[in-house]
Amino acid sequence: MDTMVHKVCPLSWLLQHLHQLPKRKCLKRLSQGCAGVNYRETVGPDSQLLNQSFIGSDFLKLQPLTNLKWYDYCFSEVVPGRIVRSLNELEAILPSVQRDKTIVLVSLFDAEKMFIRNLLCHFENLDTQNHIFIGSGSELFYDLARRGHSVIDADMFIKSKASYTDSVKEAYVVEKCLELRYSTWVFSSNVLLVDKGLLLDRIRSEEYDFYIGESSGVLIVQSSLATQKLWSNELMPSIVSSATKNPSPQHGLDFIHLVKELLEQKGKKVKTVETMSIAENINVRSVNQWLEDGLDGKPVVYWSHEVDSNTIQTKLVELDLWLVDDDLSCKAVICQSVIAHYAENSDLDGAV
């Protein structure tokens, strides 16, 4: 009986003080039992449950929430409050966001809450951690930051006497990514990434610096010194000039249209996404065609902004791409890090 009591760590102590312990030592002790307990010799009421080196003047003091580390359901650390309001802040945050030298920039201007939540569930399933959102500062937008997602507040970003459009602000984000040698995938709010690996394979099989889907709302800019110079020295001045003279309410699509138009004017090689069998318009085919062919190997789906939300939701449900329930929470949480861990251990066991 005594052994069982001492092997169970007090939950309140664990919740209050787990974050104060060095990570490796904490994990090691959790795997062995309570810290300080010698199960061979000193089990009983006289055993020391705490390592004296961890007891300080503030040991029993509850720390403010801002000092605590936050974790998601998969025990991955979550960093809330990453809100970008300037180029300097953007430069500071991008290295922690990028994965494999790639940034996924998602434009959320005028996006509806239910589609944003559905997008987040897809990112969870794909283990997409290198995304950053740009949009107008709203309660919904700041809620993303509280949940641990990096966001760019377009209302505060790039302060200037000139009234910059959202397209210009997106262009500055791409420019900063290229300066840091990161490739950039730009998606409008009407785009859903469903297979990250397949999209990456399709891009690697081509030899283009720019992949543009004007109707699908996709722009992929490959990082290189030549691309960075072209963007900064030629495209940026033209984008600023064009967007200032001809502002458009179409946000992301307007930005992608501008880039495509300017590249064509300069005679640069551009690969059209719609000709690569990468993106599928879910408004085009009938339900029977979807049931017969599915996505047909398309890593990206998109829809027209003119189609009403209920129709889009119905299409996504039919394709099993609607991953949220009635309260807009993910129907399932897939812990990719845990899956990868078990897969790695299984491979090791098989090798032995």
How far is C-alpha 140 from the geometric centre of its chain's CA atoms?
Answer: 16
Tokens encoding 304: 């027209």
| Per-residue pLDDT in tens (0 to 9) along the chain, 352 residues | 443 333 334 444 444 444 454 444 444 444 444 555 455 444 455 455 555 555 565 656 777 877 788 888 777 888 899 999 999 999 999 999 999 999 999 999 889 999 999 999 999 989 899 999 999 888 889 999 999 999 999 989 987 656 778 889 999 999 999 999 999 999 999 999 999 988 999 888 888 999 999 888 999 999 999 999 999 999 999 998 887 776 655 554 588 989 999 999 999 989 998 888 788 888 766 555 555 555 677 899 999 888 999 999 999 998 899 999 999 999 987 787 666 656 666 654 554 4
Indicate the length of the chain as a whole number: 352
CATH class of 83-318: alpha beta
Q: CA-CA distance, 65 to 61, in Å (whole number)?
A: 12
**All CATH 3.90.550 domain ranges in the chain, comma separated:** 83-318
105 DSSP β-pair partners: 132, 186
